[in-house]
Amino acid sequence: MAKREPPVILLVDDEEMILTSIKAFFAIDSDYDLLTYTSPLKALRDLETEIKSIDLVISDYLMPEMDGITFLAKMKERYPLVPRILLTGYADKENAIKAINNVGLYQYIEKPWNNDDLRLIIRNGLEKTILLKQLEEKIHEAERIHKELSDVQKEILRVFV
Amino acid sequence: MANGSAEIFEILPIATAKFSPFGDLLFMNHAFRDLLASMEASSHEQLLPPGYRSLIKRVLRGKSSEELRSVHEGRTLHLVFKSSEDGVYLFVIDLTPQEEIKAQLSQSEKMASLGLLIAGLAHEINTPLGAINSNNDTISRSIVRIRQLLQNSDHDDASARKRDTGRLVDLMEQVCENTSLATERLIGIVSSLKNFSRLDEADRKEADIHEGIESTLTIVQHKLRNRIRVEKQYGDIPPVECHPNRLNQVFMNLLVNAAQAIPERGTITIRTSRAGDSVRIAISDTGVGIPIENLPKIFDPGFTTKGVGVGTGLGLPICFKIIQEHQGKIEVESSDRGTTFTIVLPLRQERRVRHG
């Protein structure tokens, strides 16, 4: 198996200071590839053209261009298997519930957050992505083998019957 | 007077009295005596303005009527003088219960806008607080790492150790700068709160209107975000004698309304100018406007089009009341291209006598 690429995390928050804090924390001892954006629209544009693979998405809720729930819904369309996390400073449980129901949120984190919690949630989310990817690979493999076997079976039947 | 009508007046539930053309009391009914008793007033004169005799003569001469408000021992009374053939009737309506309800409503509006304020502030505070909290944690972890690097000096490759330590120091420097930014943000929020709470000082004072607008803008910023551009056209205006806190409440209500009137993106323009002995403050939005049939109702308490949970219908009545208390005027112009509220405030407050 080839050396695994570092997991790609997309982080969107209109406040630069939040991006800087989280980047600095993960710079100490993780190998995550953090893609950070202050603009959800720019993130969506770039995803369209450049970026191919995303393993996890974290988004702020209250942003001027587009709210986090709408952004995560768009991410769900494009990357249905990628876990989506809402990071919000808005003390509003109603929105959290709305998001969890509408967007199929993986987790909801409130600001100010705890770095250990954040890391654990991200780690578990990535594990889920990896497991889903592996499951997908296994299914493909099983299908391939099944097809091979049925081809062999056909061949045997053709030769002997 | 015929006996029949005297009897009707006697049982009428409205406090009623009749005066001679010279202002002498001819009779008072049961309700009037009850009112006096409830106010512990020994004479009807205690309810009346000092110059009431000339008022009665004036009403009688003009065959007219006059109404006035009187505040007596914490009671608000509405006095109606009406001329008749041979004298003047006085009807007294006790407005105290209504006034109490109004005060309660204004209190509940205050609480509602306080709740809104706190929800917005929590959001504004949580962003820099989240950054500071995380930065502090990052610094603690970096320190632990550096200490480990220093202790393991025997085994490690010196140049790798130096490189790792340098990287951690750079990281801490970056995080400290970020913390400074976040701290400045918090200081800004707290200082605007201080300005806002100054409103509770009951005394009138000379205040800078622009300062009030600015501190209110800081507080409503979370509603505007980058969705709405605020254009300020501040004129050269002198300090105004006012209750700065109450005026800030007016600015807040108008700005929040303006923001809610703009569906997506738009502009709020704040213009100030001097006009003789008064200042003009105009707040315009590029919102949907107020339908012409609703314009006469917007200052009525309880009128709202915002729907349950959004509007209490008290925001504009409170603005109206506060501006009235400042002996000023508030006017509205609206079309489908937006709405402008214009406030005119006198520079100095005339001392008023409530009576008569």
- Are residues B252 and B213 in contact, defined by beta-carbon separation less than 8 angstroms? no
Q: How confident is the model at residue B355 (pLDDT cuts 50, 70, 90)?
A: very low
Q: How confident is the model at residue B174 (pLDDT cuts 50, 70, 90)?
A: very high
Interface with A, mutate which of B178, B264, B310 (most A CBs under 10 A): B178
Res. B106: pLDDT tops 60:
yes
Domain boundaries, chain A: 8-133
User: Distance between CA B348 and CA B110 in Å, rounded?
Assistant: 27
Q: Hey, which residues does B119 pair with through a beta bridge?
A: none
Spell out, as residue ranges, where chain A has pLDDT lower than 70. Answer: 1-4, 91-93, 95-96, 99
Coil, strand or helix at B204: coil
Tokens 């009187």, residue located: B70
pLDDT, one tens digit per residue, over B176-187 is 999 999 998 888
Which position has the higher pLDDT, B311 or B302?
Answer: B302
The answer to whether B194 faces chain A, any CB pair under 8 Å, is no
Domain boundaries, chain B: 3-94, 100-200, 204-346
CB contact under 8 A, A91 and B122: yes
Res. B129: pLDDT tops 70:
yes
Of B258, B108, B175, B77, nearest in space to A21 by CA: B175
Quote the tokens at residue A14.
Answer: 């209109």
pLDDT, one tens digit per residue, over B60-99 is 888 888 888 777 777 778 889 999 888 899 999 888 887 7
Fold assignment, A8-133:
Rossmann fold (3.40.50)
Task: Provide φ and ψ at A73, rounded to 5°.
Answer: -65, -40
Of B126, B86, B279, nearest in space to A91 by CA: B126
User: Distance between CA B30 and CA B16 in Å, rounded?
Assistant: 8
How many angstroms away from the CA of B286 is the closest CA of chain A?
Answer: 18
Tokens 């502030």, residue located: B121
Report the residue from A62, A90, A112 with minimal CB separation from B133.
Answer: A112
Q: Hey, which residues does B19 pair with through a beta bridge?
A: B25, B88
Task: Provide φ and ψ at B310, rounded to 5°.
Answer: -100, -55
Give residues with Cβ within 8 angstroms of A103, minimum separation 6.
Answer: A69, A72, A73, A76, A84
- Are residues B251 and B212 in contact, defined by beta-carbon separation less than 8 angstroms? yes
Side-by-side strand order, sheet with B15-19: B25-28, B15-19, B88-94, B75-83, B65-72
CB contact under 8 A, B127 and A17: yes
Task: Provide φ and ψ at A35, rounded to 5°.
Answer: -100, 115
Question: What is the predicted ipTM?
Answer: 0.82
Q: How confident is the model at residue B335 (pLDDT cuts 50, 70, 90)?
A: confident
User: Distance between CA B273 and CA A90 in Å, rounded?
Assistant: 38
**Which residues in A lie closer than 8 A to residue B130 (C-beta atoms)?**
18, 21, 89, 111-113
CB contact under 8 A, A25 and B138: yes
> If interface means Cβ-Cβ distance under 8 Å, which residues of chain A face chain B?
14-15, 17-18, 20-22, 24-25, 27-29, 62-65, 89-92, 110-115
Fold assignment, B204-346:
Heat Shock Protein 90 (3.30.565)
Tell me, what's the pLDDT at A161?
A: 76
- Are residues A109 and A117 in contact, defined by beta-carbon separation less than 8 angstroms? yes
Query: In the predicted model, what is the mean pLDDT of chain B?
Result: 83
Indicate the class that CATH gives domain B3-94: alpha beta
Average pLDDT score over residue span B344-351: 84
User: Distance between CA B13 and CA B291 in Å, rounded?
Assistant: 41
Helices A68-78 and A40-49, axial angle in degrees (round to 10): 10
pLDDT, one tens digit per residue, over A131-155 is 888 888 899 999 999 999 999 999 9
Quote the tokens at residue B227.
Answer: 């969705």
Alpha-carbon distance values, B154 to B131, B144, B157, B250 (Å): 37, 18, 8, 69
- Are residues B88 and B59 in contact, defined by beta-carbon separation less than 8 angstroms? yes
Average pLDDT score over residue span B269-291: 92
Helices B158-197 and A16-29, axial angle in degrees (round to 10): 150
Helices B315-325 and B244-261, axial angle in degrees (round to 10): 150
The answer to whether B138 faces chain A, any CB pair under 8 Å, is yes
CB contact under 8 A, A28 and B181: no
- Are residues B204 and B243 in contact, defined by beta-carbon separation less than 8 angstroms? yes
User: Distance between CA B132 and CA B252 in Å, rounded?
Assistant: 29
**Which residues in B lie closer than 8 A to residue A115 (C-beta atoms)?**
134, 137-138
CB contact under 8 A, A62 and B225: yes
Tell me, what's the pLDDT at B309?
A: 39
- Are residues A6 and A31 in contact, defined by beta-carbon separation less than 8 angstroms? yes
Half-sphere exposure of B251 (CA within 13 A, CB side): 27
Neighbours of B95 (CB within 10 A): 16
Interface with A, mutate which of B116, B117, B118, B123 (most A CBs under 10 A): B123
Which position has the higher pLDDT, B202 or A120?
Answer: A120
- According to the per-residue pLDDT averaged within each range, which of B101-110, B129-138, B327-336 is highest? B129-138
Give residues with Cβ within 8 angstroms of B234, minimum separation 6.
Answer: B210, B270, B271, B272
Report the residue from A15, A20, A24 with minimal CB separation from B127.
Answer: A15
**Which residues in B lie closer than 8 A to residue A18 (C-beta atoms)?**
127, 130-131
Name the CA radius of gyration of chain A, rounded: 20
Q: How confident is the model at residue B111 (pLDDT cuts 50, 70, 90)?
A: low
Tell me, what's the pLDDT at B112?
A: 64
> Which stretch of A100-104, B181-185, B200-204, B326-330 has the lowest confidence by average pLDDT?
B200-204
Tell me, what's the pLDDT at B301?
A: 62
Task: Provide φ and ψ at B318, rounded to 5°.
Answer: -65, -40
Q: What single DSSP character describes residue B45?
A: G
